[in-house]
Structures are given as structure tokens and as C-alpha cells.
Amino acid sequence: MTTAARLLDVLRGQRQELLGFLERLALAESPSTNRPAQRPAFDQLAEALERLQFAPRLLPGRASGGQLYARPQERNRARPIQLLLGHIDTVWPQGTLADMPVRLEGDRLRGPGVYDMKGGLTQIVFALRALRELDLEMPVTPVVFVNSDEEIGSRESTRHIRRLARMADRAYVLEPSLGLEGRLKTARKGIGRFTLTVKGKAAHAGLNPEAGASAILELSHQIQRLFALNDPAAGVSVNVGMIDGGINPNVVAPESRAVIDVRVPTHEAARRVEQAIRALTPVTPGVSLKVEGAIGRPPMEHTPAGDSLWQAARTRGLELGLQLEQASAGGGSDGNTTSQYTATLDGLGPVGDGAHAHHEYVVVDKLIERAALLALLLLEPPLRGSLAS
């Protein structure tokens, strides 16, 4: 029996335990903005990893619920590391279970966070468990990092992710796969958030409007300039998603602002769009502009090492009878960060649908297959030395 078949056999035998683990993890609601609520889910993961002879440690957070870091209790320090990356936080507020219960319907497990991304966390635990049960030695030491602020930008955890990625031979990101085909994410767009503030001059709209300078009028001009930066063919999107301003209908608006979302496929596109936003100049006499913000998540672009990792996944998938495909994603993840420093494969998490939606679910049989795929990838030899990343 091949290694792939043995792993799949072990994991299928653990179906009920795997399902129960994911159910309990989903029942431990862990919204990004509720720090105390995240602790039970962290504790469940830490206990599972400790049973696998890992040494888990919860790194405290100031603005977040902290991060879980775990490495094997016994390890060969001369070996490189491979990073297993995920997040415990979800977009769902506390109490969502009342309207969106965790339930099994056929081969689909539904519930808040099962797809994004507690299914991926479950895969980490059970892939490591299967390797341990079969006594399969990994030539690259696995370390696990799970943060609690990914859904709100990973502002506090990014420094830890950068540090680990710099040391790692590769990073496996257990975000959900793309589409029901289960495509792996080998590229992601970079994401920027900008705020444009317009300062004008107030005046009575009926008595002396000419004495004022309308910040709203100016913002209307700038919004058109911003939308003109869109380039669908090049994969660049610029969206003014929020605007506000003014103080009363009978007052020439002294201030207005717009919040801008930017998605870019390459570092060059990021530089070009950011430069264009910062170069905006006023059209209306008597107003001034202020631009704040930046490209917060850099693009995850193709690299030789990343492509090598994708080819390894494709080959390992065939051993499991899976015809894997790759794709580029418009949304960002912590894989955007790791890809700046090491070979990264994203979207290794569950197959399903409904990320951030009320019909969220995972396909249980495919969850088992993805755990087997992850286990096989953890057996890959080091990339560095054979191919520069």
C-alpha cells in the first residue's frame, strides 16, 4: 500500500473524531473583536497539539486575542522548518449559533466558521496525527501558527508571521480552497485601504454660497478620478466604498471623506496605483486634500519556489486520486505576507462554500482528502538548496 493510500485509510478511519473536533471548534464561537470568546477555541487546539507531542504557547495580544505558536517538543535543530498557518477568528458575532447552528446534512457540515477557517485548523491537527500514527518522519520540522486577527487585517500578528516566514523553508496556508473544485491559491491580489479627506470652507447655502468651498463638490470630482484608475484587464480594482461629509443641507460642506479599497495583482501595479492616489490634486478653489493609508497586504505573486511547491501538491494530489487546479484569488490572507519571504501554497483548507455567508459549509469527505494531501506535503524534502525562493 502506498503512503498516500495508508494516510487516506487512517484518516477515513478517524472520520467521526475529525467531524466531532470540527463541530466543537465551530461551537466555540470566536469573533475577531471578542478576545475572551477566542480562548476556548485556542485551548482546544492547544490541547490537541499537546497530545501530538507539540509544545503550544499562547502569545498574548494587546489589541487581539493573541496567537498560538506550537513546535514539536523534540526536534532536530539542524532541520529547516515548514510553517502551518491559520486563524481562529471568524467574521461571525457572538450568538450567531442561534440562527446558524452547527449541523450535519448528508456530507455537508454547516455552521459559522467551518469553512473559513476552522476546517483548515482541523486538517492541521489530523494530518499531524495521521503522520504520527504511521510513524512517518518529516524531513522538515513543522511549526504551527494560528492568529486571532486575520479577518481584521492581522495588524498585531503580522510581525510574528514575517519572522517565522523568514526562517521557513515553505509555508502552507490552510485558508479554504477556491470554488467547489477545491482549487489551490498560488497567487493573491494585494489589498490597500485609503482614506481621502477633503477640507473646504463652510458658508450659508442660501445667503452667501459663493463665500464657501464645497468639500462634497470636490469629492465628487475626486471619486471620478479614483474610479478611472480601474483596469479590469490588468486585474486592478479601485472602489470608493464609503463616503460621508457635510453638516447640514443649508451649509456648504466644509469637510468630506471617502474610503477606498484597492486590489492589485503585482507589486508594480501596487506602486503605480498608490502613487496615483497620493498625487491627486484639488479641482475646486479653496479646498485641500489629505490622503492616508497604504497597500496593507502586498500581492502574492508567482515565484520559482512557489511554483515548485504547487507542482509538488499537484503530484501528491494525483497519488490521492485528486486532479488539483490552481487559481489566483482576489481576497487577501496571511499567505500574502509569507509569500514575500518563502515559498507559499494557500487554499489548502476545506472544499465547500459560503465564506462569510449564512450558507457556509464544508464537504466532509473532501475535508478528509485535504488532510491527507497536507500530510503528504509535510513529507516533502526541503525546497531550499535545490531551488532558490
For range 113-125, the mean pLDDT: 98
- In this prediction the pTM is 0.92
Model pLDDT for residues 63-86, shown as the tens digit of each residue = 999 999 999 999 888 899 999 999
342 has a pLDDT exceeding 70 = yes
Task: Please give the pLDDT value at position 384.
Answer: 74
Q: What is the DSSP letter of 90?
A: B
* Burial profile 241-265: b = 16 or more Cβ within 10 angstroms, e = fewer: eeeebbeeeebbbbbbbbebebbbb
Alpha helices in the chain (DSSP H): 3-13, 15-27, 35-51, 119-133, 158-167, 215-227, 267-278, 304-319, 334-338, 364-378
Which cell goes with 216? 462634497
Residue 224 reports pLDDT greater than 90: yes
pLDDT per residue over 132-184, tens digit each?
999 999 999 999 999 999 999 999 999 999 999 999 999 999 999 999 999 99
Ordered by where they begin, the domains of the chain are 3-188+299-378 (3.40.630.10), 190-297 (3.30.70.360)
pLDDT value of residue 385 = 53
Q: Please answer whether residues 121 and 146 qualify as being in contact, where contact means their C-beta atoms are separated by less than 8 angstroms.
A: yes
pLDDT at 260 over 50: yes
- What mean pLDDT is reported for the chain? 96
Phi, psi of 196 (to 5 degrees): -105, 120
Q: Is the pLDDT of residue 236 over 90?
A: yes
- Angstrom distance (rounded) from CA 72 to CA 57: 12
Q: Which grid cell is 261?
A: 479599497
pLDDT tens digits for range 298-321: 999 999 999 999 999 999 999 999
